[in-house]
Amino acid sequence: MSPALLRARSRYTRRNIVTGIVIASIVGGIYTYAATATGSDDFSDVPMPPVPDDSVEKLRREREEQSRT
């Protein structure tokens, strides 16, 4: 880069760094909040539908076949 371009950009370097840090901290805060908010969910109150017995047997056979290979 030319010296003139470096001089022209020098006044914005500090602002750009501060702006980048602010944006990164906002994104990091949102990510951290979302991770902690969803990690504390308790799904014990959600009813599970009954699984037919033939489906359970089919899944057991598939697991046994996969574990053999």
CA atoms within 13 A on the CB side of 68: 6
Q: How far is 35 from 29, CA to CA, in rounded Å?
A: 10
pLDDT higher than threshold 80 for residue 18: yes
Stated pTM of the model: 0.52
54-68: burial string, b at 16+ Cβ within 10 Å, e else: eeeeeeeeeeeeeee
| Residue 4 domain-assigned (yes or no) | yes
| Residue 12 domain-assigned (yes or no) | yes
Q: What is the pLDDT of residue 17?
A: 94
| Residue 29 domain-assigned (yes or no) | yes
Q: Is 16 helix (H, G, I), strand (E, B) or coil?
A: helix
Q: What is the pLDDT of residue 26?
A: 98
Higher pLDDT, 64 or 27: 27
Q: What is the pLDDT of residue 16?
A: 94
| Residue 58 domain-assigned (yes or no) | no
pLDDT higher than threshold 80 for residue 43: no
Q: What is the pLDDT of residue 20?
A: 97
| Residue 45 domain-assigned (yes or no) | no
Domains contained in the chain, number: 1
Write out the residue range of the structural domain in which residue 2 sits: 1-40
| Residue 10 domain-assigned (yes or no) | yes
| Residue 15 domain-assigned (yes or no) | yes
